[in-house]
C-alpha cells in the first residue's frame, strides 16, 4: 500500500521552521511520505506565527491553497497563532484540527484519533492553556540548507509590553548541555557544516525540568559546544543585551568555532521608550556590549532589531534612536513598525503613533540599515576569507557567508554547495552583495 502523504507550510521565524522539520520527521517515522506543499497530500500541516501581521488572513490563504492541491485533504493548524486563537482558527472553512503549543509535538498520534468534522462544523480544537506547555521539545531544521537551525531553548519569562510570544510559547525552558552536545555530534555525522543556536530567549538557556531549575547557563553551553569536533561554525541567533555577558563575548573572541557575528535586539535607542517597553536594559548597556565586541573583534558583524512607532514615541525620541544607531558601530538593522497585539500592555499606553509615521520611521531606519551594511561590507573589500556556500539558487546565482556574515554571491555551481572556499572579497555590488574572486585553495572543513 502506498504511504500517506503529508505536506507542511511554515509561517514565521527560524524556530518555527525547525519545529516543522521535527514534526515532519515524526510523520516520516510513522510511515508517512513528506511531499512539497504544492503536491497533493493527504494531510496538510500549517505552522503559524503570532508575530506576523494579519496572521488570520495569511492562515486562511494557506488553508485555501492546501485544499486547492487536494480538496479531500485533512488540514491541521499548529503554532503560536493556533495557541493564541484556537477557536477562531477552527472556524476558518477547511480547517479540520487545531493543536496548541503543548500538543503540537503529539500531532501524529493525536490525528490518528480524529475524523473530519461534519461539513460546515468547526475543526477539532486540541489546545491546553499555555501554562501546560512546560516540556522542552528539541528540534532542528534540516534538509534544505548547509546551515541548520538548532532549537536549544523555548518560551520566555520576560514581559516586554509589546510581545505576545510568552502567551503563545509559555515559560522559559531548555534542553540540557549534554543533550545539545549529543545532538550536535549527530548532526556533524550527517554532514552539517554550520549550526545556528536558536531559541525564543536564547540567553536565558538553562531552566530545566518540571521545577525549572537552573543548573546550567548559556555560557556553559557555548563552552561545551566549542569542544565538539565536526562542526566548523556555530552562530548565536539572537541574544538579549542584558544576557550577552562579557564572558560570552570574550569567549567568542577566542573561539575558533563561534563566528564573530552577533544579533542583539535593541528595540529603541530612547531610555524612556525602553522603560515603556519593559526591556531589561538601558541604552548605555547596549553601547558597552557593542564596544566590547568591537574592541575584541573589530571585524565582527552586529545585527540589531528595532521597533519604531511604539506608543508614546515622539518624533524627538525616534530621532534619538536614529542618532543612537547612526553613531553605533553596528552592521545592519532589522526594523519593525510597531504593531498592536491583543492581550499585551502596550496598546493601552497613551500616545498612539499614526500608521503613516510608523511607516515613515521604518523607511528611514531601513535606509540607514542599507548604508550601514554597505559601509560594513566596504570595510572588508580586499580581505581574504572563508565562504560557506548554500544551496539556494536565484537567477542562476548562489550565496555564501563569511564568518562575519557577509553575504557573497557567485555563479551557481552545484559543486560549491556546502563547500568552504577561501576567497578574496572584491567589490560590493549595487544590490549590497559582496562579489569575490577565487584563490583556488580549499580550506579544511571537518
Ligand atoms: S524577551 Fe521580550 S520580546 Fe523577547 S520573547 Fe521575551 S517577552 Fe518577547
> Mind listing the domains of the chain with CATH numbers?
5-132 (3.40.50.12160), 139-378 (3.80.30.20), 384-437 (2.40.50)
Nearest CA to ligand 1 atom 1: 158
Closest CA to 50 of 18, 17, 13, 23: 13
Look at residues 411, 268, 441, 421 and name the one whose alpha carbon lies nearest to residue 353: 268
Please list the rounded mean pLDDT of every run of 10 residues in the chain (446 residues): 86 92 94 95 94 81 95 95 93 94 92 82 90 91 78 97 95 96 94 94 94 93 96 96 98 96 98 98 98 98 98 98 98 96 96 98 98 98 94 88 96 88 94 87 43
Cell of 402: 563569511
Q: Which residues, including other chains, have CB under 8 Å from residue 119's CB and lie 6 or more apart?
A: none
**CA distance linking residue 375 with residue 432, whole number of Å:** 10
From 156, 239, 244, the mutation candidate for ligand 1 (largest count of ligand atoms within 8 A of CB) is 156
Cα of 201 vs centre of ligand 1, distance in Å, is 7
- What is the pLDDT, as a whole number, of residue 160? 97
What is residue 419's predicted lDDT score, i.e. its pLDDT?
Answer: 86
CA of 206 to the centre of ligand 1 (A): 17
Q: Which DSSP letter does residue 226 get?
A: H
Ligand 1: which residue has its CA nearest to atom 4? Answer: 201
pLDDT reported for residue 446? 34
Write the pLDDT tens digit of every residue in 286-335: 999 999 999 999 999 999 999 999 999 999 999 999 999 999 999 999 99
pLDDT value of position 444: 41
CA 67 to centroid of ligand 1, rounded, Å = 35
- Nearest alpha carbon to residue 440 among 417, 409, 419: 419
Ligand 1 center–CA 200 separation, angstroms = 7
Query: How far away, in angstroms, is 433 Cα from ligand 1 center?
Result: 31
| CB-based contact 163:341 (threshold 8 Å) | yes
| Ligand 1 midpoint to CA 241 (Å) | 12
Cα-to-centroid distance, 157 and ligand 1 (Å): 8
CA atoms within 13 A on the CB side of 351: 13
Instruction: Using most ligand atoms within 8 A of CB, pick from 173, 200, 204 the residue to mutate for ligand 1.
Output: 200
The residue contributing the CA closest to ligand 1 atom 8 is 163
Three cell numbers written together for 49: 506565527
pLDDT on residue 2: 67
Q: What string of DSSP letters covers 409-428?
A: EEE--GGGTT-EEEEEEEEE
Q: Which of 168, 77, 59, 84 is nearest to 124 (CA)?
A: 77
Cell numbers for 327: 553613531
Which atom of ligand 1 lies closest to the CA of 164?
8
Name the residue of 165, 239, 339, 344 whose CB sits within 8 Å of the most ligand 1 atoms, as the mutation to test its pocket.
Answer: 165
Dist. CA 349–CA 258, nearest whole Å: 40
Contacts of 120 (CB under 8 A, 6+ apart): none
- Spatial neighbors of 11 by CB under 8 A, at least 6 apart, are 46, 47, 48, 49, 52, 55, 58, 59, 62, 79, 81
User: How is 121-185 classified by DSSP, letter by letter?
Assistant: SPPEEE---GGG--S---EE--SS-SEEEEE-EE------TT--HHHHH-S-EE--HHHHHHHHH
In the 3-class helix/strand/coil scheme, how is 319-372 assigned residue by residue?
HHHHHHHHHCCCCEEEEEECCCCCCCCHHHCCCCCCHHHHHHHHHHHHHHHHHH
Residues with CB under 6 A from ligand 1: 156, 158, 160, 163, 165-166, 200-201, 240
Amino acid at each position: 500500500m502506498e504511504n500517506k502523504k503529508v505536506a507542511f507550510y511554515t509561517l514565521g521565524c527560524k524556530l518555527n521552521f525547525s519545529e516543522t522539520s521535527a514534526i515532519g520527521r515524526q510523520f516520516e517515522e510513522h510511515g508517512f511520505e513528506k511531499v512539497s506543499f504544492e503536491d497533493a497530500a493527504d494531510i496538510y500541516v500549517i505552522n503559524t506565527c503570532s508575530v506576523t501581521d494579519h496572521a488570520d488572513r495569511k492562515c486562511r490563504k494557506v488553508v485555501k491553497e492546501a485544499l486547492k492541491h487536494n480538496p479531500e485533504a485533512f488540514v491541521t493548524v499548529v503554532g503560536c497563532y493556533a495557541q493564541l486563537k484556537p477557536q477562531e482558527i477552527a472556524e476558518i472553512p477547511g480547517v479540520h484540527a487545531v493543536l496548541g503549543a503543548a500538543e503540537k509535538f503529539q500531532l501524529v498520534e493525536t490525528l490518528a484519533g480524529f475524523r473530519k468534522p461534519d461539513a460546515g462544523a468547526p475543526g477539532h480544537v486540541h489546545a491546553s492553556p499555555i501554562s501546560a506547555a512546560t516540556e522542552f521539545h528539541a528540534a532542528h531544521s534540516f534538509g534544505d540548507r548547509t546551515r541548520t537551525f538548532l532549537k536549544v531553548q523555548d518560551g520566555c519569562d520576560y514581559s516586554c509590553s509589546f510581545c505576545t510570544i510568552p502567551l503563545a510559547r509559555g515559560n522559559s525552558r531548555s534542553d540540557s548541555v549534554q543533550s545539545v552536545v549529543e545532538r550536535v555530534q549527530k548532526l556533524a555525522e550527517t554532514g552539517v557544516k554550520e549550526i545556528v543556536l536558536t531559541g525564543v530567549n536564547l540567553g536565558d538557556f538553562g531552566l530545566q525540568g518540571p521545577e525549572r531549575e537552573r543548573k546550567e547557563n548559556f555560557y556553559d553551553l557555548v563552552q561545551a559546544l566549542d569542544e565538539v569536533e565536526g562542526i566548523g561554525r556555530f552562530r548565536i541567533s539572537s541574544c538579549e543585551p542584558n544576557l550577552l555577558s562579557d564572558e560570552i563575548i570574550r569567549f567568542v573572541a577566542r573561539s575558533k568555532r563561534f563566528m564573530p557575528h552577533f544579533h542583539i535586539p535593541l528595540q529603541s535607542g530612547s531610555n524612556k521608550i525602553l522603560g515603556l517597553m519593559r526591556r531589561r536594559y538601558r541604552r548605555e548597556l547596549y553601547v558597552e556590549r557593542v564596544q566590547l565586541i568591537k574592541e575584541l573583534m573589530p571585524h565582527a558583524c552586529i545585527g540589531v532589531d528595532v521597533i519604531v512607532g511604539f506608543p508614546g514615541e515622539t518624533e524627538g525620541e525616534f530621532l534619538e534612536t536614529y542618532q543612537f544607531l547612526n553613531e553605533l558601530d553596528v552592521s545592519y538593522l532589522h526594523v519593525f513598525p510597531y504593531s498592536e497585539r491583543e492581550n499585551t500592555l502596550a496598546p493601552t499606553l497613551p500616545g498612539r503613533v499614526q500608521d503613516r509615521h510608523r511607516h515613515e520611521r521604518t523607511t528611514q531606519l531601513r535606509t540607514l540599515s542599507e548604508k550601514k551594511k554597505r559601509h560594513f561590507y566596504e570595510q572588508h573589500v580586499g580581505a581574504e576569507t572563508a565562504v560557506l556556500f548554500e544551496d539556494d539558487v536565484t537567477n542562476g546565482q548562489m550565496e555564501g557567508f563569511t564568518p562575519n556574515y557577509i553575504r557573497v554571491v557567485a555563479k551557481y555551481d552545484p559543486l560549491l554547495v556546502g563547500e568552504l572556499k577561501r576567497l578574496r572579497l572584491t567589490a560590493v555590488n549595487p544590490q549590497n552583495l559582496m562579489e569575490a574572486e577565487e584563490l583556488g585553495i580549499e580550506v579544511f572543513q571537518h
